[in-house]
Structure 1
Amino acid sequence: MSSVFVQVQREALHSFVANTFRSSGMSEEDSLLATEVLCYADENGFDTHGVANLDRIYISSQQDGRIHAQAQYEIVTEAPGTALMDARNGLGLIAGARAMELAIEKAKNVGIGCVVVRHSSHFGSAGYYTGKALEAGMIGMAMTNLGSQTIARPIGGKVAMIGTNPIAVSAPAGEVPPFVLDMSTTVVATGKIQAARRRGESIPEGWLIDDEGKTVTDPNAYFDGTGHLQMLGGSLETGGAKGYGLGLMVDILCGVLSGANVGPDPRLLEPDGQRYGQEDQNIGHFFLAINIDAFRPKDEFKSHMDRMLLTLLGCPTDSSVKQVVYPGYLETVRKQASDLVQLDITVYEQLTKLANRLGLSELKVEKEVSVI
């Protein structure tokens, strides 16, 4: 079975997305920044967190008032190496970018910068923010919870209490692509299930289980409530407690530390608690920038990274792969290969409908491809 994709020019995609954000009342500066953050995902092959969410999460939420298009964030508390930011129900793409900028500036001055955010919204791909630390020659970390939105059940539980709660970490190298880890603490991001449903595809065993603990391969089961997303690692026997623990760590650092909502809330235990768990307001983020020069000379660090990563690239392979790689390697190679960005045909059709609804010019397709 093949899937159909279209390829568009990177600049054309950025122009289209920026025009869409401007049409919702955002300033020119914020529209361009939000576009950069959102399109990062599609440009790096993470289509689950890119323009597939433009209307569904961002524009629709601005139109119904859940996200304030012109919100101005506030620094609530601040010290030389730390800050608490209140996003004031603004766009998470903007709050996240500004928070990481602040963390990087603090790291330049005192070695480490940590900024947490509350009253925010979905912030796109966590890897974008750690990429900004890379550009500054630093190690970066970014996390987000989902506020009160609950997606996965705790190990052994029957009520969803935890979000996908992603974590990203990046570290620079010298001659080889940097290390860039961007992962959910559930077995997979829900966007991958949505993508499979759009394409009419089944999903791999292990992503979803039913109430009896049996695997489910129909993505529609997730949306009708009969298939439940597992924590990273799956069952207790296969290491699910690790994903469960990491998910809770994200809620602590993003939610409890900042004052944002967290997934496990006492209201979920009430008779109508599941309705509470569907809200996603007051999301929290965590950003950390580490100035390598505060610990050892940056050139030494990068040389050491090269030795480590080149060793991985040179590892003998089994029959399943042609080359051993590491997180971030393929994304860097893919991005360097072309100025074209590939979009799922159904996502492109959604963008076309959005353009027509808003009275904007449609996004031009350069090429249509089928992928088996």
Structure 2
Amino acid sequence: METYLEVRQHHDLARDLLTAAGLPGADADAAADVVGYADRHGYPTHGLKALVNMYVPWLRGGRVDPAARPRLIARNGAVSVLDGADGLGVVVMTRATDLAADTARRLGVGVVAVRRSSHFGAAGFYTHRLAHGGLAGIAMTNCGAQGVIPPLGGARRLLGTNPLSASVPADDRPPFVLDMSTTVVATGRVKAALQAGEDVPEGWLIGPDGSDVTDPAAYFRAEADVPWLGGRLATGGAKGYGLGLLVDLLCGPFAGAAFGPRRAALTETEPAADRDVGHLVIALSPAAFGDPDTILGETGELLGTVSACPPAAYARDVTYPGAPEAARAAAAERKGIPLSPDVAEAVASLARELGVPVPGELCPAEGGADGGEEREAVDGTAAGAADGTVRR
């Protein structure tokens, strides 16, 4: 059964865990906002699960620097470059997003490229933040030097899933917020199926001969790969592949960060860690394009008209990216944020280990694991390991 935490309770727990792992107070608050957004809006792999499996182990193990102070290293008009100083990506990208927003309000557009960062959580958090500030936005990230997906038709993993998000604010309805990987599915969902002992649907994995593979373990044995958005070439795979390349081009060379398709990657025998991850965020002010009230009214009309479209026989209703997530977040505000049993147990164990008070909701009457025992991460690997590798 799922465990529910109140929104404030969830935030405070995440903040306290991050603070106990060495992150300063303001940064821990910012990171807890990103973690809470993910769990509230239906992206649980990037919520407390990511905190347990990645952020806290990285902070404690030296993979990221808890005292890092992102530094502005270049500014040219509306374009800035931020050095993340090997800090926690959710903190670094929040600062980059706010810098882009401030620039857009002054100049109409703000662009910030980020280098030397790490996993930045749910991409939608940053564009959602812009939308609720009245701005349109685009955010994206590569996976540093790590390769988890081969190029279309390739036999060697050179790119990341390279997620991106885009948002447009509206007048009186949830903003448009698109949050997507450039692959058919994020590799985290393949891992979740493996942990649950379930097959994956056809189309999620393809073998070396191009056939469908449904055993999720095949991906982790490098016997199958996740295809690009659109699937095979005949069904539009070149579109997802092109988007994935675009993200690496902008978040790698343009940002001055690492990128997967390096010449050395063609012959490396060990997988590269996702260090020196690059991000890019673009903010656009409606006021630079015309009367902002008119623009936001028309975006609201557009989204409202789409939502009012009569559904096809096979569908229940018509919606748009951002609206279902907003409904989940509203439900979480009323009922609490749901946590799966494995996440709840791992969070409670981590809290005991770090000396953070454990919410009663995470302590069932029958008791849980002794906080002094060796803790296992949600994904089944030792949570204290900090080798810098994460599959997206």
* Fold match (TM-score > 0.5): yes
Partner of 1:222: 219
Verify: 1:94 aligned to 2:91, yes or no: yes
CA contact (8 A) 1:107 1:290 kept: yes
Match of 1:361 among 322, 334, 357: 357
CA contact (8 A) 1:73 1:86 kept: yes
Stretches of 4+ moved more than 6 A in 1?
none
* Higher normalized strand content (fraction of residues): 1
Verify: 1:267 aligned to 2:264, yes or no: yes
Verify: 1:136 aligned to 2:133, yes or no: yes
CA contact (8 A) 2:117 2:277 kept: yes
Partner of 1:344: 340
Q: What SS does the corresponding residue of 2:361 show, helix, strand or coil? A: coil
Verify: 1:115 aligned to 2:112, yes or no: yes
Output the amino acid matched with 1:290.
L
CA distance in 1, matches of 2:186, 2:259: 18
CA distance in 2, matches of 1:172, 1:364: 38
Q: How many residues in Structure 1 have an aligned counterpart in Structure 2? A: 362
Verify: 1:16 aligned to 2:13, yes or no: yes
Output the amino acid matched with 2:346.
Q
Output the amino acid matched with 1:112.
V
CA distance in 2, matches of 1:66, 1:313: 44
CA contact (8 A) 1:72 1:87 kept: yes
Output the amino acid matched with 1:108.
R
Residue by residue over 1:12-61, the C-alpha shift from the partner in whole angstroms, topping out at 9 and shown as x without a partner, is: 21111111111111111111111001221111011122111112211111
CA contact (8 A) 1:9 1:366 kept: no
Verify: 1:285 aligned to 2:279, yes or no: yes
CA shift for structure 1 position 225: 2.2
Output the amino acid matched with 1:311.
T
CA shift for structure 1 position 354: 1.5
Partner of 2:57: 60
Residue by residue over 1:253-290, the C-alpha shift from the partner in whole angstroms, topping out at 9 and shown as x without a partner, is: 111101101110111112xx141x43100000000100
CA shift for structure 1 position 300: 0.9
Partner of 1:188: 185
Deviates more, 1:210-219 or 1:98-107: 210-219
Partner of 1:148: 145
Output the amino acid matched with 1:93.
V
CA distance in 2, matches of 1:289, 1:240: 28
Match of 1:160 among 142, 157, 160: 157
CA shift for structure 1 position 80: 3.3
Partner of 2:207: 210
> 1:306/1:188 Cα in 2 relative to 1: closer, same or farther (>3 Å)?
same
Verify: 1:29 aligned to 2:26, yes or no: yes
CA shift for structure 1 position 228: 1.1
Structure 2: gaps spanning 5 or more residues: 365-392
Match of 2:313 among 286, 308, 319: 319
CA shift for structure 1 position 367: 11
CA distance in 1, matches of 2:278, 2:15: 25
CA contact (8 A) 2:345 2:362 kept: no
Structure 1: gaps spanning 5 or more residues: none
CA contact (8 A) 2:45 2:188 kept: yes
CA shift for structure 1 position 353: 2.2
CA shift for structure 1 position 175: 2.5
Match of 1:301 among 289, 295, 308: 295
Output the amino acid matched with 1:8.
L
Query: Aligned Cα RMSD in Å?
Result: 1.6
CA distance in 2, matches of 1:336, 1:19: 24
CA shift for structure 1 position 320: 2.5
Q: What SS does the corresponding residue of 1:16 show, helix, strand or coil? A: helix
Output the amino acid matched with 1:348.
A
Verify: 1:251 aligned to 2:245, yes or no: no
CA shift for structure 1 position 195: 2.3
Identity of aligned residues (%): 39
CA distance in 2, matches of 1:106, 1:200: 48
CA shift for structure 1 position 199: 2.7
CA contact (8 A) 1:6 1:367 kept: no
Partner of 2:37: 40
